[in-house]
Amino acid sequence: MRVGVDGRGLAAAARTGVEQYVVGLTRALAEVENRPEMIAYLDRPIADEALAGALAGRIETKVVRARYGWLRAALPWRLWRDGVDVVHLPSTVMPPVLPCPAVVTVHDLAWKRYPETYSAEDLAMQTSRAAGSIRRAAHVLAVSETTARDLRELLRVPDDRITVTPLAASHEFSPEGSGVPEDAFRGAERLDHGYVLYAGGLSPRKNLMRLLEAYSEMKREVEAPPLVLPGSRSEYADELARRADELGLGDRVVFPGYVEQALMPALYRGATVFVYPSLYEGFGLPVLEAMASGVPVVTSNRGGTAEVAGEAAVLVEPESTEAIAAALRRLLGDEELRGKVGAGGLRRSRGYRWELTARETVAVYGRAAGSA
């Protein structure tokens, strides 16, 4: 069996959740015994030398150049030319025509649960292309039981076409290691006595306006370390900065901008508390990365974040500013509790392993190829 993978995430300069999934899964697939012949198709070479070395001799990588229509035309043509038996599309969207059955990964159905958090253009794309791809796929990989349930309830996908294959944290996320250098980014010099960290992209669905308000409310009652909100500059990021100023938080909120992936493990492990109050997640990889770093977590009591965290985090109603503030106040004021929650999260994180996900994914490839 020959399997093709849309591997563009392997070469991405910035890694969001989807790219992290592609990197983590592909690395693990390279270690699976009796794996099928695999080809990862990219639109540019892999710049990460360690990653390229881990795949060398195990998973073939092919750069497919295309002036336009990479997914629509260039990839399907190469799949046909290479005689691929099944293709894996890790960001859900399928080309309109394919020469073989497809496995698609669905990370969440936020566009169905919270359409108001999407631009009109993005919502239209998700509603048409993502929904159509899910219907046409030979098999669907859901990153959590939460996403599997949404697929059944919202899109009526039958159980026998869904397999749950969770994400995992990279081995780089660990309590052991150095912290953030003082010159890492503007404001890093103020973090040597601890900080409250959020990570995972700046967007309305992440509930960050309410987080700012909860932090402000908490800070009126207790002395709190700085709040750190990394993420690329955008209109929403500017709105957050303006709101922080309106709340009188001044230099208590640090906006580092985009933080290189290599620095993220240090940023996690140096945090006093990690907070992730998202309104909805299919999985919530930052929660798992924080737990793997031994950091106590505050997160939402709904969706994928509650599923991932289980009882190893402080769960809050994300639409309650007071609940978020109270959870932060409780953890920041109780060192013993922080240690207990952090240790529990570290233990739970070890149950999520890329090698388990990779083996189950290979089994799905076989079932999908047999469906042709």
Per-residue pLDDT tens for 107-150? 999 888 888 877 888 888 788 788 889 999 999 999 999 999 99
Beta bridge partners of 314: 298
State mean pLDDT over 169-175.
94
Position 318 scores a pLDDT of: 97
Position 7 scores a pLDDT of: 94
Pairing mode, strands 314-316 and 297-300: parallel
Query: How would residue 223 be classed by pLDDT, with cut points 50, 70 and 90?
Result: confident
Q: 52-91 pLDDT, tens per residue?
A: 999 999 999 999 988 778 888 999 999 999 999 999 999 8
Distance CA 55, CA 53 (A): 5
Q: 274-310 pLDDT, tens per residue?
A: 999 999 999 999 999 999 999 999 999 999 999 999 9
pTM of the predicted model as reported, rounded to 2 decimal places: 0.93
Distance CA 112, CA 168 (A): 25
Spatial CA neighbour of 171 closest among 269, 19, 289: 289
State mean pLDDT over 175-200.
91
Domains 2-168+353-370 and 188-349 share a fold: yes
CATH of 2-168+353-370, one of 2.60.120.260, 3.40.50.300, 3.40.50.2000, 3.40.50.2300: 3.40.50.2000
Q: Residue 36's CB: how many other CB atoms inside 10 A?
A: 15
State mean pLDDT over 214-234.
90
Give, rounded to a whole angstrom, the gap between the first and last alpha carbons of the chain: 12
Position 112 scores a pLDDT of: 84
Distance CA 61, CA 46 (A): 9
- 92 pLDDT above the threshold of 90: no
Position 372 scores a pLDDT of: 58
- 239 pLDDT above the threshold of 70: yes
How many helices and strands (H and E) does the chain possess? 15, 13
3-state secondary structure of 297: strand
- 365 pLDDT above the threshold of 90: yes
Position 90 scores a pLDDT of: 95
- 29 pLDDT above the threshold of 90: yes
Position 187 scores a pLDDT of: 87
Position 115 scores a pLDDT of: 84
Position 370 scores a pLDDT of: 81
The mean of the pLDDT values for the chain is: 93
Q: How does DSSP assign 253-292, residue by residue? A: EE---S--GGGHHHHHHT-SEEEE--S--SS-HHHHHHHH
CATH superfamily membership of 188-349: Glycogen Phosphorylase B; (3.40.50.2000)
State mean pLDDT over 260-269.
93
Query: How would residue 219 be classed by pLDDT, with cut points 50, 70 and 90?
Result: confident
Position 125 scores a pLDDT of: 78
CA separation, residue 194 to residues 41, 114, 332 (Å)? 42, 34, 10
* 49 in Cβ contact with 69 (< 8 Å): no
Could you give the percent of the chain with pLDDT greater than 90? 75
Query: For the chain, which residues make up each domain, given as ranges?
Result: 2-168+353-370, 188-349
